[in-house]
Amino acid sequence: MIPPCSRFSQALLLVCLASILCSAQEKSAAAAPGDALVKWDSTCGARGCLMQTDVLRGVSDDPPDPKDFREYVSLNVALDRSLSRPAYFSFLVDPRAQADQGIFITFATTTQENGKWKLNLDPEGPSRLSIGACDKNACTARVPLGLVEDGKDAHKMDLLDKFLNSDHLLVLYTRDGHPYRTMVILSSFKKEYARVMENEMKSRAEK
């Protein structure tokens, strides 16, 4: 039996996040490896830019298959020139995911104490994003304007602010009752977002 979403998000997600604590601390020790592990691509046109990345899901008791596109977590951030903020953030996970459970996300920052890296999870806890649709390629949760509203299993959150001021994004979804969690290092997002805003969005808007 799948536990209720509220209990699942707060208890199981935190347990799963703890299981990747060491990995997060090691990878956050330097920004360069993070940039290599998570690469953002941007496609720009007259209307704006779409930033995208694909990250192989985290290691579990059944390791991911890098040759299977369903094993990747994808992130899309749409930037519209007519808006002062992103048009939307999209989170795409395995098309076999349990849509009724949604996608859980939370953020973390890292600090160095006594020569060791410490992962600090967002004190507000995780939020559940509703999956809008699943097709043969992915199950997708889209957040218009990147603004998560208060709800039973979510708290009010500005995703752009979180992406720019956190070091890690942590994503969890379930498939066949099994949780799959993935850590996404955000250092490369910050660099690509700054580049796109300066060289693509700003320059074209001025023409």
CATH code of the domain containing 18: 2.60.40.1880
Looking at per-residue pLDDT, the higher value among 11 and 134 belongs to 134
Whether pLDDT at 16 is above 60 = no
Q: Cα dist. 103→9, 57, 58, 199 in Å? A: 9, 13, 15, 33
| Residue 56 near residue 65, CB atoms below 8 Å | no
Q: Please give the pLDDT value at position 206.
A: 53
pLDDT in tens, 136-175: 999 999 999 999 999 889 999 999 999 999 999 999 999 9
Whether pLDDT at 55 is above 70 = yes
Q: What residue has token string 């649709």? A: 133
Q: What residue has token string 């390791």? A: 63
Q: Please give the pLDDT value at position 202.
A: 77
Residues 6+ apart with CB under 8 A from 183: 20, 23, 24, 27, 58, 168, 169, 170, 171
Q: What residue has token string 């998000």? A: 9
Mean pLDDT, residues 184-194 taken together: 96
Please give the structure tokens belonging to residue 199: 């060289």
| Residue 44 near residue 168, CB atoms below 8 Å | no
SS3 85: coil
Instruction: Name the domain count of the chain.
Output: 1
Whether pLDDT at 65 is above 60 = yes
Nearest to residue 48, comparing CAs of 17, 85, 16? 85
SS3 166: coil
DSSP state of 40: -
DSSP state of 69: G
Q: Please give the pLDDT value at position 101.
A: 96
Looking at per-residue pLDDT, the higher value among 31 and 160 belongs to 160
Dist CA 151 CA 79 (whole Å): 26
What average pLDDT does the structure give for the chain? 85
207: confidence class by pLDDT, cuts 50, 70, 90:
low
Whether pLDDT at 189 is above 70 = yes
Mean pLDDT, residues 120-131 taken together: 95
Q: Which domain holds residue 68?
A: 5-206
3-state DSSP: the chain helix, strand, coil percent, rounded to 5? 30, 40, 30
